[in-house]
Structure formats: C-alpha cells, structure tokens
Structure 1
Amino acid sequence: MASRQGQLDEKAVTGLVAEAAAAPSMHNAQPWRFRYLTGERVLMLRGDPERAIPHSDPDNRALHIGCGAALFNLRVAAAHADFVAQTRLLPEPGDPLALAAVQLADADADADADAEGVRDQDLARLHPAIRQRHTSRHPFAEKDVPEDVRATLRDAAEREGAVLLFPGPWHAETVLDLIRDAESRDTLEPDANEDLARWTRLGPEADTAVDGVPEYAFGPRKRDGKAPVRDFAGRRPVADRGTTTFEYTPHLALLSTPGDGPADWLRAGQALERVLLEATLADLATSLTSHALEDRALRLLARDPGSGAGQVQMVLRLGYGPRGPATPRRPVRDVLEIV
C-alpha cells in the first residue's frame, strides 16, 4: 500500500481512516476528524466539537472514548496493512481537541520481534472483526460466557491499560438499578430528549443517514427482562418494531481505568474496542450502555464494591444472539484532510 518513494498514498490513508471510522461512538455521533501530514507520515486525530453531546456528555468523556475506539481501529488497520503505528496521546497540551498523533512507518521484515519496526501480528489478527462488529439491541440467549473467553477479554483490556470486571450477582444488580435510575431521571428532564432527537433517524431519513442511530438499529421494544438496552425511540412510534422478552440474567462487564481524565478516556476507548473485537471473534454479540455513567455521582456508585478502585467508563452487555445491523458511517472525505 506504500508508494515507491516510501510515502503512503491517498488510497492507503483513506482506507486506514475508513477502518478507524467503523468504531462505535455515543449515539453514533462519530466525533472524530483526521488530518494526514504527508511529509511527516503522521495522522492527527482530533475531536469534533460540532458532534459533542452536551447534555449526556457534558465533559466530553464519551467523545474521547469514541475517538479512542477509532484510534484502536486505526492501529489494527495499520498492522494489517504492514505499517507500524507509533502513537502519542494528547500531543499538543495547549489544544485539548488534539487527541492523538500516529506516526506510520513501514514494517521491517528483518526486524527483531521486540524491535519498534516490527508489525504487530496480534493487532493484525483482529482486523476481520472491525467490519463484523455491530451493536446489538436484540435479546441474547440465557447462556453463560465461558471462563476462557472472559479471560481473553480481561487480557484485551489489560493490554490497553484498563480493567474489565465481570460483576457478581449483587454488583450486577446494583449496576442495573443505577441504569434504571438514570432512565427514570431522563424521563423527567426535557433536555435528555434533545440528544435522542438529534441523533436518531426515523422514517425515510434512516435510509439515507450517514450518522446517528437509524430506526432499523433500535431493536425491538423490551416487554420484559433485565437487559440494559436504551430505547432510542422513546415515545415515538416506529413501524413494524414489535416487542419481545430480553434476558433475565444479562451478562455485564465493567470497563475501568485508574484515573478519570482525557488520557484515561482515550485509553478506555482503545481498551473498549480491543475487547469488542476480541468478543466478535469469539462469536459474542455486544452492546454498550453509558446511561448510568453520564452522571459522575452515579459513575462512582458503579465501581467494584470490594476494592472501590478505578473509574468505570463503560458497561458492556455480552451474549449469544444476533449481532445487529451495521449503522451508517460518514464518507471518509468528510472526516479526512490530507495536506
């Protein structure tokens, strides 16, 4: 994919960014922009303030997590294409929206396994899952996730500086209670509906959307069960949607980081996507909820009651069931500038 002069061509860079932009983000807002510096072979990742979600994400925590997930996809795509991605987080201290700088170098086939110029085979292995991973808002089977799969997912989070905890029954019920509390709170706050109205796509708009959550990805309404699934329709009618029973024992995982600042959020996003890609390769369906984490006071209550340590950044729901449909993505030309 590199030119004879050793420069990444436009097609190669476009392909890398297309893979990066397949990442999940809150309400599928896709809050990222990329700028490729041709002479330096550096891709700059920036947060896009126009795609911030001020009510649900007032401190841009979710924006950073989404951009971190895109950054991890970029690293995977680069490894698959025989490039080495050397990443610096928050490279410009005076610019809080400059989130990462990624130096792209050609992999050296003769490099030692521990050398910086060697392709990361473990990242490249995850590449097929980038396009297979979709958020599923459908019921999952009442079936346990095997311990060896859980161990793989815990290791994936640890590799990116995060911790993945599978809560016990009491802790899981506490988290579900927090999610229900958050849902009830939103019904009483008119501003909460503004975010949903902006980022959901109903009727003919769903067929042409390039962002947001289209109605075909809402999944059925929950008639019963305890699975934490945000209802993007709210009180608005959606044709042919139906209702069904979800699992009564949802399998939850909590992704935590030691701190709770911008660098931690970016690491959380990378860890989240690594976990999701590993889960996809293990034939697990996944969905995410940050409902109980959008308020910092509730977020503290979601922590492991045993250790009381760490900052919970995302609640994952894992299981066996339909993966859900692909959601739309913006054209790469709208998120990438090459200079």
Structure 2
Amino acid sequence: MAAQPFDTMKVRALVTAATAAPSLHNAQPWRFRHRRGSDILELCADLERAMPLTDPDNRALHLGCGAALFNLRVAAADGGLHTDTVLLPDPTDRELLAAVRLTGTARPDGDLARLFPAIARRHTSRHPFQDRPVPGAVQERLRKAARREGADLVFPGEWHVEALLEHVRDVEGRDSLDPARFEDVRRWTRSGEEAAVDGIPETAFGPRKQGGRAPVRDFAGRRAVPGRPAAVFETTPHLAVLGTVRDRPDDWLRAGQALERVLLLAILNGLATSLTSHSLEHEDLRELARDPRSALGFVHMVLRLGYGPAGTKTPRRPVDEVLEIR
C-alpha cells in the first residue's frame, strides 16, 4: 500500500512536539521543511542561532536538533505513525540534518509512544534536589534507553563526580577572567517582563545557590533579580555522563536523541532533570570528563538527576516561524 500524504494540521502537531526539546540556552536552533503531498519531514539547522563562542563546532546545536528529532519520532508513534529516519542525507547541504519518512502502513513503536506524555512535562529544573540516590533499577532503565539510540549513559563513581564538580568550578573561574565568554549568555537570557519566544527567562533561573554542590549554572550572573529567593542545594549531586564512541556530526545527532529519550524516561520514573554542559564548552575539560576506565569515547552532556521540583516552562517559537510548507 502506498504511503499517504499528511495534512498540514498533522505536520504542525508533530513540529509542535519536536520543538519542546531542550537546546543550549533555549536557542531552538532548528527549522522544519515539508512538501505538500509528501510523506517526508526534514529537520534543518538554523545557523543564525549558532553560538560561535560557546559552540564553535556546532556540536551542541546538533545535540539540540537531535533531541527535537527524537520528540518528533515520539509524537509520530503516539499518532499511530511509523518513522524511518536518515541522518545527514545530503552531504552537499550542511543545514539538512535529517529526513524523516512518516508512514501509517507499518506498526508504530509502542515504546516511543509511551514517552509522549513526558514531552510536555520535561523542563530543566534549576532547583535543589533531595539528597536521595536514584535507585539502581531506574539507572539501568536509563542506561538501556541511551543504548537504544546509539549512545552510552554512565553513572560515575565518587571520584569521577568530584572531578566533574571540580571542572565546573574551574570553568566558572575561567569565565570570570574572560568577559567575552558571557556574550552568548547575555544574548539568550531574558530579563523582567520582556516578552520572548526563546532564550531563558528570569522565571526559569531557579533560586540563587546559597550552599550545596550541585552544578547549576546561574544565568543571572552578578545581576540582581528582584524577588529571586536563595536556597541550599544538595551536597551529593547525582550525575550521569552521556557520550558516544565517535565524535562526528551524526554521532552528535544520535547523542541528542539518546539524551531526550533518557530525559523523557526519567520524567516518567518520577525524576527531575537538569543539564550541565558548561565545562564541556572547553575542549580540555571535555576530554577530562570521561572515565578512562570506561568504553565511553566522547562526552556530550552531564545530567543532574534527582527528586525535586519540576523545572519551569520556557518559551517556544511559534510553529509558523520554524516550519516551512511548500
């Protein structure tokens, strides 16, 4: 049976779900293209939203787009559709990251569909978590989720956690000596009542850290935010490291899909989630982030997981701004 074309309403619904994905500083560096009468939806990089200082090789951009791609696959499965995805389908078009064929003639992925309710609930939490460990059974589910997307998730031991926390302190010191490093943060943070469709608003900064060792980036910097409370964070943060064997653009897209699969499953298992990529923006610290005793080749993200308040919703660009239907 031939695949059926998809109407505009269905395509818009898929893109809406896709764009709920996390991205560096909530820059939302993606665009989608669909040709009327076609069963293919294309994901493209929006290079105007790249960050040359923070992300010179566009690795983080690919991670965000990979997370959006995973959300699209989840939404398609929830709608009874099967997806076939080709990464980087055209070597001559560096903006085209993936082509997704949507068909209703094959059995959709039930495991993907079950993750759909978590898309609307997933928000980065910059709040304190309880000093309570993540059960081993939950850790194993999250590891398996990452492996299904071609990545590895490692729960580091005590010495490795200490090293990762030291890297965060190191990069905070470096940034304080280099004002240019704050340029991308200034570009993507939104103050006061400023209307926004992207970036990180003050409402999502979370409380100012008054104590504790959780690696939470303070997007307010030295700026006072009226009414912002202070809080003591956990003393034993529970971290996980996500990476791949290789370090090429297609690996970054797979890592982004693995990251989102892990985040959505974590939500369904009652966890709050936070992403920590600050130290990974420096190549030397990124190389030190892996455990040399593990098979993990290249680290793409450090996750903070735990039991605590859900994160605050951040703005999203209108669908008409990111979707082109020809």
Moved more, 93-102 or 122-131: 93-102
Match of 1:131 in 2: 120
Q: Cα offset for 1:34?
A: 0.2
CA distance in 1, matches of 2:198, 2:160: 34
Q: Cα offset for 1:6?
A: 3.0
Q: Percent identity?
A: 62
Secondary structure, counterpart of 2:85 in structure 1: strand
Q: Cα offset for 1:38?
A: 2.3
Q: Cα offset for 1:137?
A: 0.1
Structure 1 residue ranges without an equivalent (≥5): 109-116
CA deviation string 1:188-207 (max 9, x = no partner): 111111111100000111xx
Secondary structure, counterpart of 1:93 in structure 2: coil
From 82, 85, 104, give the equivalent of 2:83.
85
Match of 1:198 in 2: 187
CA distance in 2, matches of 1:16, 1:330: 14
Match of 1:264 in 2: 251
AA paired with 1:228? P
Q: Cα offset for 1:243?
A: 1.2
From 166, 182, 201, give the equivalent of 2:155.
166
TM-score (norm 2): 0.98
From 52, 55, 64, give the equivalent of 2:53.
55
Moved more, 232-241 or 35-44: 35-44
Secondary structure, counterpart of 1:222 in structure 2: strand
TM-score (norm 1): 0.94
CA deviation string 1:107-163 (max 9, x = no partner): x3xxxxxxxx21100100000000011100000000010011001000000000000
Q: Quick check: 1:234 aligned with 2:232?
A: no
AA paired with 2:251? D
Match of 1:23 in 2: 21
CA distance in 1, matches of 2:52, 2:223: 22
AA paired with 1:269? G
Match of 1:36 in 2: 34
Match of 1:113 in 2: none
- 8 A Cα contact 2:239 2:304, kept in partner: yes
CA distance in 1, matches of 2:325, 2:129: 43
Moved more, 265-274 or 297-306: 297-306
CA distance in 1, matches of 2:307, 2:296: 30
- 8 A Cα contact 1:78 1:84, kept in partner: yes
AA paired with 1:216? T
Secondary structure, counterpart of 1:314 in structure 2: strand
- 8 A Cα contact 1:171 1:305, kept in partner: no
Match of 1:112 in 2: none
Secondary structure, counterpart of 2:293 in structure 1: coil
CA distance in 2, matches of 1:225, 1:307: 28
AA paired with 1:63? L
CA distance in 2, matches of 1:87, 1:308: 27
CA distance in 1, matches of 2:296, 2:76: 34
- 8 A Cα contact 2:290 2:296, kept in partner: yes
- 8 A Cα contact 2:129 2:233, kept in partner: yes
Q: Cα offset for 1:308?
A: 6.3
AA paired with 1:7? P
Match of 1:156 in 2: 145
Match of 1:253 in 2: 240
Q: Quick check: 1:210 aligned with 2:175?
A: no
Secondary structure, counterpart of 2:92 in structure 1: coil
Matched pairs, number: 324
From 1, 10, 22, give the equivalent of 2:8.
10
CA deviation string 1:230-255 (max 9, x = no partner): 00001111111121110000000000
CA distance in 2, matches of 1:29, 1:231: 17
CA distance in 2, matches of 1:324, 1:103: 33
Q: Cα offset for 1:39?
A: 2.9
CA distance in 2, matches of 1:145, 1:181: 27
CA deviation string 1:223-279 (max 9, x = no partner): 111100000001111111121110000000000101111001000000000000000
CA deviation string 1:72-128 (max 9, x = no partner): 00000000001111100001111222100001111x3xxxxxxxx211001000000
Secondary structure, counterpart of 2:120 in structure 1: helix
